[in-house]
Structure 1
Amino acid sequence: MTCSVLVGGAWGDEGKGKCITYLCDNDKPNIIARAGVGPNAGHSVEFNGEKYGLRLVPSGFMHTDAKLLIGAGVLVDTDVFFNELDYLGKYKLKGRTHVDYRCSILTEDHKKRDKGSEHLFKKIGSTGSGCGPANSDRVLRTAKMAKDIPELEDYVSDVALETNEAIDNGEDVFIEGSQGFALSLYYGTYPYVTSKDTTASTFAADVGVGPTKVDEVINVFKAYITRVGEGPFATEISQEEAEKLDIEEYGTVTGRRRRVGLFDMDLAKESCMINGATQIALTCVDRLYPNCAKTQDYSDLSADTKSFISDIETATGVPVTIISTGPDLKDTIDLRSELL
């Protein structure tokens, strides 16, 4: 039985939603816990032919036997939370989805301050969801907590206690992080970053899990890199060049067009080092190598694809164990058994 943390390797948008969906549907963990900043990050999920965009509820929701928990380190927008419960109604989230009573609550004032900030909204490129001001209020000890909100009364719990008891009882726990390593307040391209740390260590702390209880850290990279908002981007290419590669993407939360760049080996190496990655999941391989689309067996990958994967493993010292070759769950090559 394991406790795994999934983390984005770059500036978000790495395909974490697809990886989380695959791993939770395949491995069926007992608890799926959401870590990260809050509703300023979206995960795109495709399951049984339907597409979902989520900002708070864990992306492994389709595993209906799992508890879905939101850790104390995550900012909660009650409107987003209840909208997603209704939106995913057929998956019977009510009764198994809980928010840690210590979560800070996002308010309309936080959103107003975010969007009204020349620095945050216009220079940094904030999503305007209020997360920066809300985290500022938490630091100032003026933020409201989930336990103080009557409408959340039936949805609050002690997520840290539930998660640790599950681990101690030999159950599987899956912690899904949001955003990406290069958006970390400490290790990212400051000041063009999000409002807290976004590494695996902090994701574990977000749900109350100590470092000795984490077994696996899965670092997710896209076969190319994208970024929404301002900030340095060493391997960026023009949108015209991206279009020639048939790459055009838009942010799940903001709808803004993503900047596109080539895979950055130096960034990948640093990301794996600081996150303590034990495995790499590589997504959108089919976008960079169309001849590999929907491939489900590693031996069927083209020689140049295998060479690219080998280069990543050599640079980072971390094995690539999950390879996504399409949006469908079945379009996944799973090499984890080779680690055993």
Structure 2
Amino acid sequence: MVTTIVVGGFFGDEGKGKIVAHIAYTDHPSIIARGGVGPNAGHTVIKDGVKHGVRMIPSGFIYDNARLLIGAGVLVDPVVLEREVALLNAGNRLGVDYRCSIIEAKHIEEDKGTERLAKKIGTTGTGCGPANKERVMRSALQAKDVPALKSYLTDVAKECNDAIDRGESIIIEGSQGFGISLYYGTYPFVTSKDTSASQLAADVGVGPTKIDEVVVVFKAFPTRVGEGPFPTEMTREDAQKRGIAEFGTVTGRARRIGYWDPEMARYSAMINGATQAAITGLDRIDPACKGVTDWDRLPDKVKDFIRQAEKDVGVPFTLLSTGPSLDEIIDLRKR
């Protein structure tokens, strides 16, 4: 039984949702707890050809046997949360920490105002920055003060630690990516808090000595939404030649596409304390690997890419995604 953190290694949109779902189906956690910023990041999971997108509820919802928790460090938008509860019929499994700060209409209005950060750095306009600002000033509304959330309120830290003490597996899933961490990202083109594995553990109230595995998720071709430095960014023409076109889950904006960045990957793995790595988008290295579930069947071009990536990062790449669907993956963890 292990406690696993799943965190984004580049600028977000790495495919963490799929990796969380796969680990859930194989490791059978009793709890999947969400850390991160708030509803400014969307996670997409595809199962049986159906695409599921969530912004508040943990993307591990797809695994029916886990309790779904939102940690104290996460900002909660009650409107978005209730929409997802109704859509996914997940209310009976959901717990929201009573200490979560709330995104109110005024925060969204401020975020979308005339001085909106989107004009400067490309924020999503979901109210997270203003809500976190109010939290820091000690004047934020908390989940315990919102009647609509009463049935979900819990102590997430206690639930997680009790499960660990009972010898159960739990997953802590992050949002966004390392490159937009408030502390370690491309400041000022960042989100409103840290996004590293250490922060995710703190978000759900689990101490560092209780973390067994940190899975950093990378993308074969990293992407970025919004403004900010992107050293390996390719031209739109090059992206089109490779057949790569992506759009943000929350904003719908076109994602900028880049080449593999060994320097950033290595630094990200270091700060996150990676014990292993996952990689998505391998079918864009070579379309012939689409849907492959056996290492031996991978084209040499893809195998060489992974071997080099392991040298770049310094940890084994154990989860290899060969397509967007949940079953399009090679799991080398048990090798």
Q: TM-score range by the shorter chain?
A: over 0.9
Measure how far apart 1:17 and its partner are.
Answer: 1.3
2:45–2:326 Cα contact (<8 Å) kept = no
Corresponding residue of 2:18: 18
Structure 2: gaps spanning 5 or more residues: none
Q: Superposition pairs for residues 70-109 of structure 1, below 5 Å?
A: 70-89=70-89, 93-109=90-106
Corresponding residue of 2:324: 327
| Backbone CA RMSD of aligned residues | 0.8
Corresponding residue of 2:52: 52
Deviates more, 1:24-33 or 1:262-271: 24-33
Corresponding residue of 2:9: 9
Deviates more, 1:283-292 or 1:258-267: 283-292
Q: What secondary structure sits across from 1:237 in the alignment?
A: coil
Corresponding residue of 2:269: 272
Q: What secondary structure sits across from 1:234 in the alignment?
A: coil
2:110–2:116 Cα contact (<8 Å) kept = no
Aligned length: 335
1:25–1:60 Cα contact (<8 Å) kept = no
Corresponding residue of 1:34: 34
Measure how far apart 1:26 and its partner are.
Answer: 2.2
Corresponding residue of 1:67: 67
Which amino acid in structure 1 is aligned with residue 159 of structure 2? E
Give, in whole Å, the separation in 1 of the partners of 2:48 and 2:299.
28
Query: Would you say 1:188 and 2:185 are equivalent positions?
Result: yes
Instruction: Report Cα offsets for 1:164-220 as digits up to 9, x if no partner.
Output: 000011011100000000110000000000000000000000000000000000000
Which amino acid in structure 1 is aligned with residue 333 of structure 2? R
Give, in whole Å, the separation in 2 of the partners of 1:170 and 1:115.
45
1:76–1:106 Cα contact (<8 Å) kept = yes
Which amino acid in structure 2 is aligned with residue 75 of structure 1? L
Measure how far apart 1:288 and its partner are.
Answer: 2.2
Corresponding residue of 1:115: 112
Q: What secondary structure sits across from 1:286 in the alignment?
A: helix
Instruction: Report Cα offsets for 1:242-281 as digits up to 9, x if no partner.
Output: 0100000000000000000001000000000000000100
For residues 168 and 255 of structure 1, do their structure 2 counterparts lie closer, same or farther at Cα, with a shift above 3 Å needed?
A: same
Q: What secondary structure sits across from 2:92 in the alignment?
A: coil
- Runs of 4 or more consecutive aligned structure 1 residues displaced over 6 Å after TM superposition: none
Measure how far apart 1:119 and its partner are.
Answer: 5.4
Q: What secondary structure sits across from 2:111 in the alignment?
A: helix
Query: Would you say 1:144 and 2:141 are equivalent positions?
Result: yes
Give, in whole Å, the separation in 2 of the partners of 1:260 and 1:330.
25
1:7–1:218 Cα contact (<8 Å) kept = yes
Corresponding residue of 1:167: 164
Q: Superposition pairs for residues 269-308 of structure 1, below 5 Å?
A: 269-308=266-305
Deviates more, 1:197-206 or 1:305-314: 305-314
Measure how far apart 1:117 and its partner are.
Answer: 5.1
Q: What secondary structure sits across from 2:160 in the alignment?
A: helix
Q: What secondary structure sits across from 1:83 in the alignment?
A: helix
Q: What secondary structure sits across from 2:151 in the alignment?
A: coil
1:38–1:76 Cα contact (<8 Å) kept = yes
Q: Please, what TM-score do these two structures have when normalized by structure 1?
A: 0.97
- Percent identical pairs in the alignment equals 58
1:15–1:283 Cα contact (<8 Å) kept = yes
Match of 1:318 among 305, 315, 318: 315
Measure how far apart 1:48 and its partner are.
Answer: 2.1
Measure how far apart 1:336 and its partner are.
Answer: 0.1
Structure 1: gaps spanning 5 or more residues: none
Match of 1:228 among 203, 207, 225: 225
Match of 1:252 among 234, 249, 254: 249
Which amino acid in structure 2 is aligned with residue 232 of structure 1? P
Instruction: Report Cα offsets for 1:133-182 as digits up to 9, x if no partner.
Output: 00000000010000010111111100000000000110111000000001
Give, in whole Å, the separation in 2 of the partners of 1:250 and 1:331.
21
Which amino acid in structure 1 is aligned with residue 42 of structure 2? G
Measure how far apart 1:95 and its partner are.
Answer: 2.0
For residues 119 and 83 of structure 1, do their structure 2 counterparts lie closer, same or farther at Cα, with a shift above 3 Å needed?
A: closer
Instruction: Report Cα offsets for 1:6-27 as digits up to 9, x if no partner.
Output: 0000000001111111111222
2:319–2:329 Cα contact (<8 Å) kept = yes
Instruction: Report Cα offsets for 1:98-154 as digits up to 9, x if no partner.
Output: 100000000010011111153512111010000000000000001000001011111
Give, in whole Å, the separation in 1 of the partners of 2:118 and 2:292.
41
